[in-house]
Amino acid sequence: MRLHREGTPTILLTVAIVCFGLFFAWTWAPVWLAWIVTLLLLTVFTIVVWFFRVPSRKVTLENNAIVAPCDGKVVVIEEVEETEYFKDKRIQVSIFMSPLNVHINFGPISGTTSYYKYHPGKYLVAWHPKSSTENERSTVVVEHPQHGEVLFRQIAGALARRICTYSQVGQPAEQGKEFGFIKFGSRVDLFLPMSAAMNVRMGDVVQGSVSVIARFKS
């Protein structure tokens, strides 16, 4: 299993804590307590390593498709007024990532990155209605050569404390290619054209770079 580069500091810190904990437990604690501490520490280490896994997937490449930017559960599908960039009505699709999901973020469409902005903010739980506008977040807009622009927003949750975004304005964006990473529980919002034909429903579980969220109308 390959591990994501963003996990290196966290994994090294976890290894140090586990080693210290094991040394302390087996040096000073009773044997029964040392075994309990060992199991707990190894469980924590396994969870951390699992969190930073990099999946091997067959990416969906389809010119008319908007693919899922992350793994998780669809928690919002609604018409909203997008106020940061478009300043008009869009279809918002929000995907919630639990700490057990893969937290790599994938490009939903191909094109050119036309906008990027990082916003510091709060750490409300990721499913909170105001998390899209009040939490720490990064907004990226990609312009498709035939179908116009799509906005996607990485949102930090109550546990997430670091958003990594690799997109740069003016640079090419590729469907299914990694554009960022969010550490621990979080959410990604998509803002699609009103004409987009939805391919998912509330409660659906989607796979980043694989599941089709919607399709552009030709």
Q: Give how far Cα 54 sits from Cα of 18, 31, 99, 106, 109, Å.
A: 23, 37, 14, 12, 20
Other Cβ atoms less than 10 A from the Cβ of 155: the count is 29
DSSP 119: E
Which residue's entry shows tokens 């105001």?
130
- Is 186 part of the annotated catalytic residue set? yes
CA distance 36 to 52: 25
Catalytic residue among 94, 131, 186, 211: 186
3-state secondary structure at position 149? strand
Kindly list the catalytic residues: 186
